[in-house]
Structure 1
Amino acid sequence: MTPGARLQAAIELLDEIIAGAREGGAAADTLIARYFAARRYAGSKDRRAVRELVYAAVRRFGDMPASGRAAMVALADEDSAVAAMFDGSPRGPAPIDPAEVRAASGRVPAWLDRALTLCGLDAADIASLIDRAPLDLRANRLRTTADQAAALFPEVRRIDNVPDALRLPAGSAVDQTPAWRDGWIEIQDAGSQMVTAAARAAPGMQVVDLCAGAGGKALALAAAMDNRGTVLASDVDRARLSRLAPRAERAGAAIIEPRLLDPNREADALEDWRDRADVVLIDAPCSGTGTWRRNPEARWRLTPERVERLVATQRRLIDVGAALVRPGGALVYIVCSLLDDEGASQIDRFLADHADWTAEQPIPQGRPRGQGRRLTPAHDATDGFFVARLIRPC
């Protein structure tokens, strides 16, 4: 592909991503994969170059641009290499007309910039939310040790106080390596590993992962428990939960029991676990403001109304999870959000309604926020998270 053809492909992809954000369609990564699956002529260098152009634009504009071309025209004003690709070549975009309107936007939508500032984040914290993330791995102690896994990757870095975490440069390909195939490693952000450790899972425990998704945290819990005890991994999303079984088999995690739940009827399906769990971990659905480094187009999908709906769901799930905790057990609440409405304020609300429950420090990392801890890319070099650990009275 010529440089102009690469830019035209990026413009077409951005148009699809913008439409997807407006209409609740597929995520950017999925759209990019589909685009190139239908264009086998594009080589690996072409795909990489187009992807980099797409994400340069997505990261640059906090507010959704009017079109892919509008975004790239504005980007061309800042990058002479992009400007040179508007060359009018047969498969490239038409040259820029001086009269074309340039997209104007900060890196974060204005309403979210205000909201995050009110939640105590400074300019460096907010700017770091759209930096490109490294690739973090978790060494699976059911198969290997962190030292053995680290020895397989020349560019690896270890992360202080996260014993199983390995960090590789962004874009590293690991899913075709023997270490991946044999279940030695899982892709998991170091921050996700930190907040999962707030469960303090130990062999023999009975643990519920209430919003398990595809099971990343359930796998980490099973490893921490040395395959002794039970991890009930439940979710309402059949497609995501279906990915857990093959992952668990590859990882050698034999104590995970998947359970599909009906939305808004989770308590009924979990009645057999009432007052039984040593730990209930709730990685609640949220705005994802802490994961923009990996999903920057998510900024375009978020609205105040959607946050309100998520807050209501989180509140309900906390109450569902609390009913499963045995006397003396723990409820661990996690969101990959930096908005207090989804984090610290949720815990304040719960404790106001359950005065006999107590909060304790969940993890040593991060900074205090309300009754929990908060991780940010700028301060902790991880995705953004809020985590709290609550104890039910005996």
Structure 2
Amino acid sequence: MTPSARLSAAIEVLADIAARRRPAADALKDWGLAHRFAGSGDRAAIASLVYDGLRRRASAAWIMGEDTPRAVMIGMLRLQRGLAAPTIGGLFDGSRFAPEPLSGHEQERLANGTLDDAPPAIAGDAPDWVLPSLQGLFGDDLLPELRALGRRAPLDIRINGLKLDRDAALSRLAHLSPEPTPHAPMGLRIPLGEDGRGPALHVEPEFIEGLYEIQDEGSQLATRLSGAQPGETVVDLCAGGGGKTLGLAALMRNQGRIIATDADPRRLAPIHERLRRSGAEAEIRTPRVGRARADVLEDLDGTVDRVLVDAPCTGTGTWRRNPDAKWRLRPNSLALRVSEQAQVLDRAAQLVRPGGRIVYITCSLLPEENDDAVASLLKRRLGNLTVIDSSTVLAEGASALAPFVRLTRHGVQMSPVLTGTDGFYVSMIERAG
């Protein structure tokens, strides 16, 4: 496919997403099934265009003066990819499979459209209803942080310390041109191509051997901030596919006991193969569904040294990776997540022993899901739980990280501008002895 034909396809996919209000991945999959002539490179390039369009949907529509898939694509090429007007005009030439030529209005907007007077929700490409919460967190840094959330995320991997160290991994993976991550001691950053795509890491021999996992540096740091120690009993309460379970096992050197579970047993499916590949040791407890459902952790109540709660959340901290998610986010979605967080935190409070700790993690930037969720837990368990000072959490888990995070009322907040990572939040809560 020509670059122009790929643009036409991306506009078609954006129109499908807007009309049917569904995830971009589903729309792209359906487009690929309906256009089997498109090779893998074409599909990847179209996906990159679509995701970049979603990243800059509001600001691109603003400078073009209309909110249509075509206008978003034209505006994105200028704002996100830095193409000059003549170059964009050459792509929209009306030839076979190419988009129709630019109209006079489009040429004028492309040349003169500006974000100078755009409100923060437009200039920062974010839903306007979340801005009061984000303003409270970021203050004067609101717009820089929003714009950083609109950029492409880096491609990070975590070296499996159970099998080799980072220096050895740098040598083994030299063909990928990796660089050490700025903060995570076992992380490597893999450069992306001009189209925003990285190499197919999941087919590399080193991946198959379990020498690394694909994991954002922020997620790696959140696991380190858990402070998990060899010999402890640790429950990963919302383990999902097991990314943090594997990180805990490496941090604890496979010395101790890790129990991983998740309320949704389907999310646990990948964890078994990942454990086998990595050599990490963990006990998986899969809950039953339906009438036979039972609490698979009941025997552990009051005995666990550390409970990791990687809580279900809105994912506002991952907008760099999932730009379509921000446009599908609704206030009732936030309310549902806050309710789910309360339930899982209450369950963690039952599991932890006197003197033990709950490590509460989200990939959210919204205080409602972070500090407010912790404050609500403290209120419900009045006198039974206390928050560990954030400076202590950093000192115990990643002291060098201190200048690159925000210390909130109850936790540590990472962000794209300050930390260069997704927006992870970590709070440490201790049960009274």
Task: Give TM-score, length-normalised by structure 1.
Answer: 0.89
What does residue 378 of structure 1 align with?
A: 417
**Shift in Å at residue 228 of structure 1?**
2.9
Look up the equivalent residue of 1:131 and give its one-letter code.
R
Q: Is the 8 A contact 1:73 1:96 kept in 2?
A: no
Alignment-derived partner of residue 268 in structure 2? 241
Task: Give yes or no for the alignment of 1:118 onto 2:136.
Answer: yes
Structure 2 unaligned spans of 5+: 62-66
Q: Which amino acid letter does the alignment assign opposite residue 325 of structure 1?
A: V
Is the contact between residue 374 and residue 386 of structure 1 (CA under 8 Å) also seen in structure 2? yes
**Distance in 2, Cα, partners of 1:64 & 1:319:** 43
Deviation at 1:74, TM superposition (A): 4.1
Q: How does 1:66-77 map to 2 (within 5 A)?
A: 67-75=68-76
Structure 1: gaps (5+ residues): none
The code of the aligned residue for 1:136 comes to D
* Residue of structure 2 aligned with 1:139, choices 149, 155, 159: 159
Q: 1:214 to 1:62 in 2, by over 3 A?
A: farther
Corresponding residue for residue 431 of structure 2: 392
- Residue 268 of structure 1 aligns with an amino acid whose one-letter code is D
Pair 1:176-2:233 in alignment = no
Query: Do structure 1's residue 359 and structure 2's residue 387 form an aligned pair?
Result: yes
Given that 1:136 and 1:190 are in contact with CA atoms closer than 8 Å, whether structure 2 keeps it comes out as yes
Identify the range of structure 1 (278-287 vs 149-158) with the bigger mean alpha-carbon deviation. Answer: 149-158
Q: Percent identity?
A: 39
Cα 1:69–1:343 change in 2 (3 A) is same
1:375, distance to aligned residue in structure 2 (A): 0.4
* Amino acid aligned to 2:94: G
CA RMSD of aligned residues (A): 2.8
Task: Name the amino acid aligned to 2:340.
Answer: T
| Residue of structure 2 in register with 1:193 after alignment | 220
Q: Indicate the larger mover: 278-287 or 223-232.
A: 223-232
Alpha-carbon shift at residue 77 of structure 1 (Å): 6.9
- Conserved in 2, the CA contact under 8 Å of 1:280 and 1:330? yes
Q: Quick one: structure 1 residues 3 and 17, their matched pair in 2 at CA, closer, same or farther if it must change by over 3 Å?
A: same
Conservation of the 8 A alpha-carbon contact between 1:119 and 1:340? yes
Whether the aligned pair in 1 keeps the contact of 2:378 and 2:386 (CA below 8 Å) is yes
SS at match of 1:391: strand
Measure how far apart 1:131 and its partner are: 1.5
Pairing 1:85-96 to 2, within 5 Å after superposition: 85-96=91-102
SS of match in other structure, 1:90: coil
Are the structure 2 counterparts of residues 316 and 185 from structure 1 closer, same or farther at C-alpha, using a change threshold of 3 Å?
Answer: same
Listed as ranges, the matches of 1:227-306 within 5 Å are 227-260=254-287, 268-306=295-333
- State the Cα deviation string for residues 257-285 of structure 1 (Å, max 9, x = none): 2423659x998342122112111111111
- Structure 2 CA distance, aligned partners of 1:223 and 1:156? 21
1:130 aligns with 2:150: yes
SS of equivalent to 2:355: strand
Question: Which residue identity does 1:250 align to in structure 2?
Answer: R
Q: Which secondary structure does the structure 1 equivalent of 2:417 belong to? A: helix
Correspondence for 1:202: 229
What is the Cα deviation at residue 204 of structure 1? 2.5
In structure 2, relative to structure 1, the CA distance for the partners of 1:146 and 1:34 (3 Å cut) is farther
More helix as a share of residues: 2
Counterpart for residue 181 of structure 2: 159
Amino acid at match of 1:186: E
Give yes or no for contact 1:241–1:260 (8 Å, CA) kept in 2.
Answer: no
Aligned counterpart for 1:309 among listed residues 336, 339, 346:
336
Q: CA deviation at 1:30?
A: 5.0
CA distance 1:76–1:208, shift in 2 (3 Å): closer
Contact 1:372–1:389, Cα closer than 8 Å, also in 2: yes
Query: Do the aligned residues in 1 keep the contact of 2:245 with 2:282 (CA within 8 Å)?
Result: no
Cα deviation, residue 218, structure 1: 0.7
Q: Is the CA contact (8 Å cut-off) linking 1:282 and 1:333 kept in structure 2?
A: yes
Q: Distance in 2 between matches of 1:290 and 1:368?
A: 16
Letter in structure 1 aligned against 2:54: V
Change (3 A) 1:98 1:114: farther
The answer to whether residue 339 in structure 2 is matched with residue 319 in structure 1 is no
2:383 partner amino acid: A
